[in-house]
Structure 1
Amino acid sequence: MLGVHQRAVTFRREACPDGRRLGHSRQDEARVKTPDQFKTEMIGLLPRLRRFALTLARSGPDADDLVQDACAAALQKWHLYDPAQPLDRWMFRIIRNLWISEIRKRQVRHGEGEVPAEEATELQTGDADEALAARQVRGKVSALPAELSRPLMLVCAEGYSYREVSELLEIPVGTVMSRIHRARKLLVSVLGHEEGIAT
């Protein structure tokens, strides 16, 4: 039985198997020159784009729609992408903006008026044993409130810095740090409680 901290380390190791920061992948270092090159780069990011969309939508079908719409928008505007910046961050911004627009549309349809961007993003809210432990931890992270799970996943699974997450989610760095601290405390508490029951 893996300990709480070992399981958390396993989760991060599986997400970043070769030790690179996923926020700055080799794919992002390539310089996009043609639409085909851009499309190839984007396709390589699809699993990560869906994970990010899931942290927003909390629904598989909604996340899939979000990624599809984001990819369509990105392909139409690929010439606006600055290759000096990581492609994943550009795509994440598109996904986030589309989700904010979708939430605002839903609010208007329900007669609730528009909501601020910050509030909109928080609505709706190794070996086989190690792989299983990592999946279990991911499941527990996903079960956390959206405002806590999203920054934790971006930092621990995607390798972003607090400042990068602050820019991506458009919230203060202090808020990012506070939410990640709360998320980790909750996660350790849940995992520790489960281990206590199992022993």
Structure 2
Amino acid sequence: MKGRETLSNRFEDGVVALLPRLRRFAIGLSRDWADGDDLCQITIERALTRRESYEPGTRLDSWMYRIMRNLWIDEQRARGRRSQTFVSEEAGVAIGALGAQDAAVQLGDVDRAMASLPDDQREAVLLVMVEGYTYREAAEIVGCPIGTLNSRLVRGREALLVKLGEAA
């Protein structure tokens, strides 16, 4: 009984430690703070309710990122079906607080450039350039060969440079 409690505590501590990274990835995938927070919450809930499927000794972060990515794909499919019936809302861009407007505008430019990337390129950029995963780890999370991930990353990086060059 005590061994199970220790494993459960380790699992929960690991999930809590991953929260900032998971939230950042969720916001990057969804292109929206509120949707990102919702995605992060759903991911945590799914991980906690299905913790028995996690294999101790394997990478908890990769397992959590896969859960999040799969949930996001499911959400995108559902949105696609809903968009055939409903008109989507326009999202506003928030500008930072007074005194930090230049930085906020630049960050907004980066956010808009990231949001304009195709999903596969945005995932690759987020995982490798923002989260710091190796190509192999990112390819595992996404479920594609390393060469494919590398191609997506190169195209995404080039598109960002073009878009940010236009913003300057």
Unaligned runs of 5+ in 2: 86-102
Which one has more relative contact order, counting CA pairs under 8 Å at least 6 apart? 1
| Counterparts of 1:100 and 1:194, CA distance in 2 | 30
Query: Which letter maps to 2:54?
Result: Y
Check 1:143–1:98 CA distance in 2 against 1; reply closer, same or farther (3 A cut): closer
What one-letter code is carried by the residue in structure 2 that aligns with 1:81? Y
SS in 2 for 1:82: coil
Q: Does 1:142 align with 2:114?
A: yes
Residue 29 of structure 1 corresponds to which residue in structure 2? none
Letter in 1 for 2:37: D
Task: Name stretches of at least 5 consecutive residues in structure 1 with no aligned partner.
Answer: 1-31, 113-131
**What's the % identity of the aligned pairs?**
39
Alpha carbons 1:140, 1:187 under 8 Å: kept: no
**RMSD of the TM alignment (CA)?**
3.0
- Preserved contact between residue 151 and residue 165 of structure 1 (Cα < 8 Å): yes
1:132-171, Cα deviation, whole Å (9 max, x unpaired): 6x95895476344133232012112222222222221223
The alignment partner of 1:159 has SS state of coil
1:87, distance to aligned residue in structure 2 (A): 1.1
1:86 alignment counterpart: 59
| C-alpha contact (below 8 Å) 1:155/1:165 kept by paired residues | yes
Check conservation: 1:148, 1:182, Cα contact below 8 A.
Answer: yes
1:168 is aligned to 141
Aligned to 1:26: none
Matches within 5 A, 1:69-148: 69-110=42-83, 139=111, 142-145=114-117, 146-148=119-121
1:142 partner amino acid: M
1:185 maps to 2:133 = no
Equivalenced residue count is: 145
